[in-house]
Amino acid sequence: MDAPLTFVLAVFALLAVPGPTNALLAAAGAERGIGAVRLIGIVLLGYGFAVSLLVALFGPLSGADPRAAAALRLAAAIWLLWSAVGLWRHAARPGAARAVTAGRLLVTTMLNPKTLVLAFAIFPPLSPAALLPYGLAFLGLASLTSLGWALAGVFLARSAGSLATPARISRATAATLALFALWVGSVGITALVA
């Protein structure tokens, strides 16, 4: 996908739709308020590291053995499920520390299934120098969509009043992550048995 406009539209469409990272950003916005925007750098680091690693390491590996991508999906499903359980348990502990930590957000972003799409379908197969403008555009779009999801969480918490308690937000986020885990896991298992 080497047409710049097509790249921008594809990245924006992919990053704007709900997903595990966006669910955590919205929960962080509801939990922390406007301070959640500090987590945007964590999201950029997670996507940047994961996409670079996928292109450099898993690109050649997945070409040699398609089961590598399936194994990566299963690892992502296990992490998402583990995070969902952690968030659910967090909701049962009133006064506990924040549910959305920088570490949880970083690992979730690195294992987000969107990284596979970015690495293998959206970023064009160009030299590192030629990829620079695409990378910069990606960082801008990822910042914009992350900001939107964090602010959506802030708005949700303020507009929902007593309905948006920290426990309910943690549980809703946990349920969302569990659904993504089931979806990603089923795609990974299907690819392994096919």
Structure tokens at 84: 């969902």
- Answer whether 58's CB lies under 8 Å from 69's CB: yes
Cα separation of 170 and 165, whole Å? Answer: 9
Query: Has residue 37 got a pLDDT over 60?
Result: yes
Domain count, the chain: 1
- CA 110, CA 4: separation in Å to the nearest integer? 24
pLDDT in tens, 115-174: 888 887 788 877 888 889 999 999 999 999 999 999 998 988 888 666 766 677 777 777
pLDDT, tens only, 84-104: 888 777 766 665 556 788 998
Q: Which two tokens stand for residue 126?
A: 């160009």
Give 14's contacts (C-beta < 8 A, 6+ positions apart). Answer: 114, 117, 118, 122
What are the CA-CA distances from residue 102 to residues 61, 74, 192 (Å)? 29, 22, 32
Cα–Cα dist 123/162, whole Å: 43
Q: What is the mean pLDDT of the chain?
A: 83
pTM above 0.95, yes or no: no
Cα–Cα distances in angstroms (integers) from residue 84 to residues 69, 166, 173, 177, in the given order: 22, 15, 7, 5
H or E element in which residue 191 lies = helix 166-193
Q: Which domain holds residue 53?
A: 4-193
